[in-house]
């Protein structure tokens, strides 16, 4: 009510449901409550094809939403069919003309109030010189420091004055620290240069360590020549937004525990390890906690990485410059199948309870944690087809026809494969049928990190398959023909291109079918789904 009284002009109906009824088609909420009882005079807009989720609707036909009180459909890729059907539904009386007039009137009212019909440019409001102002950044840095939650500390924190500190993992990646909906939809495809005046976690640690008389070295893979006194490993979730963040369960890196391997490698060399975990939520990370001497839940600190160093690194006097004050605002799971996990629920049994958080003033001992996740990692791998040297369950890597596979080294031992075509044949990834409809609508691509070892001999095709008569493929000959021999590269094949070629994306059992002729040699080290880069088009278009 205060927002409506303040004069807001638009409201978005979410994908959510109330008592089983989708908001986009809920007349009680949109019309009876929002417009009539609360007096909202602006317009209600839908979310991305959300009308298609209303009972009895599709993306191209949903009179129920307009009749319920929706004024503007969000139909990015379905608008033509939706327009035609809505027009017929109005002409046939299924949608009353009065309801259509009301929707149009509300939209025009908002445009008039916004000055869109004035023949002058609207005034520029706001003090843009205050964006990124020093006092704003200082407040953000303070928020980072206060949000950190110390889950474990076996005496390694704070990092002592004069220490030699190895900083590993994703410490110099501001985009990863910022998460989704940052510059780009999924928060991916950005570099540190896209964040002017921001400070990465690495930069903040380096600054603090050197100020205390120590030395900091950045090594993403954790390798070193000069033995460090302590290693800070920054790792966590790849940025995500909306459904790309959906999880089948709470296990971190199921079936693909590359970050755990890095922690264990450092521990095996006798180096004390401080884990700084980046995530948008608590995740089951017991193996990673066990492999660390200290474990900090850093959430998504964003652009002020120095706030982490403020708490982790001691001053020249050896005393903490700032203590941990953060407490868990969500319960931390004991098993990966514990979701939801809320204080007060029957059988409430978290690993770390709501409100937990250690500090230098209030230390605590964390015993060895159970590494039984309670789930199978296979269900979480709908978007990972080949990572860390293998196809994670439930996927299987195979060949058909004249293709041989050999394990090779790329960034690590046997983390890649070399496919050699001795005759016509295909490289395949097979598994149980997976529904990739949302990923297709969300403009995701199958990304292949590859190296051409022998030039293309004949055509190369990429397709997905869902069984007899429903495959869809594209010609990717040009991609591999233009790639330099011996150079690692990455390409993306949009799921929407494969759908347009005839694939039924609701039941994909072979998400990778790469076919070629004799003489072609291709090394690959990663195949997975990811957000499509802005410049990617369908092959041949």
Q: Catalytic residue positions?
A: 47, 242
The β-bridge relationship of strands 294-299 and 230-236 is: unpaired
Structure letter (DSSP) for residue 37: I
Helix (H) or strand (E) holding 204: helix 201-211
Q: Kind and range of the H or E element at 235? A: strand 230-236
Question: Residue 421 is inside which H or E element, if any?
Answer: strand 416-430
Nearest to 288 by CA among 313, 264, 307: 264
CB 53 within 8 A of CB 47: no
Q: What is the DSSP letter of 35?
A: I
CA-based nearest residue to 273, from 321, 230, 225, 323: 230
Residue 442 phi, psi dihedral angles, 5° rounding: -80, 10
Host H or E run for residue 84: helix 79-91
Q: 55-70 burial by CB neighbour count: b if 16+ within 10 A, else e?
A: eebebbbbbbbbbbbb
Three-state DSSP class for residue 142: helix
Is residue 382 helix, strand or coil?
Answer: coil
At residue 384, the 3 state secondary structure works out as strand
Query: Would you tell me how many other CB atoms lie within 10 Å of the CB of residue 404?
Result: 12
Distance from the first to the final alpha carbon of the chain: 50
Helix (H) or strand (E) holding 306: helix 306-312
In b/e form, how buried is each residue of 462-500, taking b as 16+ CB within 10 angstroms? bbbbbeeebbbbbebbebbeebeeeebeebbbbbbbbbe
Tell me the sheet residues that pair with 278.
Answer: 236, 299
Backbone angles phi, psi at 181, to 5 degrees: 55, 35
Give phi and psi for 272, each to the nearest 5. Answer: -60, 140
Please tell me the distance from the alpha carbon of residue 447 to that of residue 384, in angstroms, as a whole number. 10
CB 175 within 8 A of CB 190: yes
Rounded to whole angstroms, what are the CA distances from 75 to 13, 52, 89? 14, 9, 17
Taking the mean position of all CA atoms in its chain, how far away is CA 5? Answer: 36
| Cis peptide bond N-terminal to 158, omega within 30 | yes
Rg (CA), the chain: 27
Residues 400 and 539: their CA atoms lie apart, in Å, by: 24
């Amino acid at each position: 009510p205060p927002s409506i009284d303040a004069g807001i002009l638009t409201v978005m109906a979410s994908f959510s449901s109330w008592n089983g009824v989708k908001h986009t088609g809920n007349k009680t909420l949109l019309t009876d409550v929002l417009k009539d009882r609360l007096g909202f005079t602006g317009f209600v807009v839908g979310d991305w094809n959300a009308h298609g989720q209303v009972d009895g609707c599709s993306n191209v036909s949903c009179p129920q939403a307009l009749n319920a009180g929706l004024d503007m459909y969000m139909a990015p890729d379905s608008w033509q069919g939706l327009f035609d059907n809505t027009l017929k539904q109005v002409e046939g009386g299924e949608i009353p003309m009065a309801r259509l007039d009301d929707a149009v009137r509300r939209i025009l009212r908002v445009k008039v109030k916004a000055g869109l019909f004035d023949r002058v440019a609207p005034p520029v409001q706001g003090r843009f010189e205050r964006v990124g102002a020093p006092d704003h950044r200082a407040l953000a840095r303070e928020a980072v420091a206060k949000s950190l939650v110390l889950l474990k500390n076996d005496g390694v924190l704070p990092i002592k004055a004069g220490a030699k500190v190895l900083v590993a993992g994703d410490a110099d990646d501001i985009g990863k620290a910022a998460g989704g909906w940052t510059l780009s939809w999924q928060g991916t495809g950005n570099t540190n240069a896209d964040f002017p005046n921001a400070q990465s976690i690495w930069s903040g640690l380096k600054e603090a360590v050197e100020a205390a008389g120590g030395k900091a070295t950045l090594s993403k893979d954790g390798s070193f020549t000069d033995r460090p006194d302590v290693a800070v490993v920054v790792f966590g979730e790849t940025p995500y937004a909306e459904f790309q963040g959906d999880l089948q369960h709470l296990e971190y890196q199921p079936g693909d525990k590359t970050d755990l391997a890095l922690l264990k490698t450092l521990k095996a060399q006798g180096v004390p390890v401080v884990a700084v975990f980046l995530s948008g939520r608590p995740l089951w990370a017991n193996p990673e906690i066990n492999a660390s001497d200290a474990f900090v839940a850093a959430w998504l600190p964003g652009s002020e990485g120095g706030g982490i160093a403020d708490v982790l690194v001691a001053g020249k006097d050896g005393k903490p410059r700032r203590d941990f004050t953060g407490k868990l605002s969500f319960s931390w799971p004991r098993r990966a199948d514990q979701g939801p996990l809320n204080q007060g629920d029957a059988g409430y049994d978290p690993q770390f309870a709501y409100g937990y958080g250690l500090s230098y003033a209030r230390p605590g001992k964390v015993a060895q944690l159970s590494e039984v996740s309670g789930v199978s990692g296979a269900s979480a791998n709908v978007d990972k087809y080949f990572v860390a040297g293998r196809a994670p369950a439930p996927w299987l890597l195979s060949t058909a026809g004249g293709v041989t596979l050999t394990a090779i080294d790329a960034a690590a031992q046997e983390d890649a494969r070399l496919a050699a075509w001795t005759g016509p044949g295909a490289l395949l990834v097979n598994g149980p049928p997976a529904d990739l409809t949302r990923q297709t609508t969300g403009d995701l691509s199958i990304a292949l990190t590859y190296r051409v070892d022998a030039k293309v001999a004949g055509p190369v095709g990429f397709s997905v398959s869902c069984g007899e008569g429903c495959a869809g493929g594209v010609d990717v000959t040009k991609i591999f023909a233009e790639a330099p021999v011996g150079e690692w590269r990455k390409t993306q094949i949009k799921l929407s291109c494969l759908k347009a070629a005839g694939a039924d994306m609701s039941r994909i059992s072979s998400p990778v079918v790469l076919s070629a002729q004799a003489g072609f040699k291709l090394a690959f080290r990663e195949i997975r789904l990811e957000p499509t880069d802005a410049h990617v088009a369908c092959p041949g278009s």
